Amino acid sequence: MPYVRMRKEDPNGDFGRNTRQRQVIQAVIKEGASVSSLTNFSTIFKAIGDNVKTNLTFEQMVDIQKNYKAAGSNIQQMEIKGKGTTINGIYYLQIPQDEQLHVQNELRA
């Protein structure tokens, strides 16, 4: 699944990859919410193939879908602001203290 894994070729780097991963997760939630997707689960699992690994059983996945499908219509996203820097060849997003407090307060709310 190069679409969700690519980051070096993306002008937004890891942030672009994160956006694409959110898009895929939201599409999976939306598709999973439909009754027809449960009847076609073998086709869906075949298409996913070796790209997804999980220790959940099929029954557990159905249970999650059944009990949390309403959550798919209430997804909230938040972007953390910071300054990118590279230290010893590794990219880090340095988050200022005021932004950390803002995120903590949002999560608590």
C-alpha distance from residue 1 to each of 14, 17, 21 (Å): 15, 12, 10
Domain ranges of the chain: 2-77, 80-109
pLDDT of residue 27: 73
Q: Is the per-residue pLDDT at 37 higher than 90?
A: no
103 exposed, middle or buried (CB, 10 Å; 0-12, 13-18, 19+)? middle
Residue 71's closest CA among 9, 28, 109?
Answer: 28
pTM of the full predicted structure? 0.48
d(CA 47, CA 14): 26
pLDDT tier at 10, thresholds 50, 70, 90: confident
pLDDT exceeding 90 applies to what percent of the chain?
Answer: 17
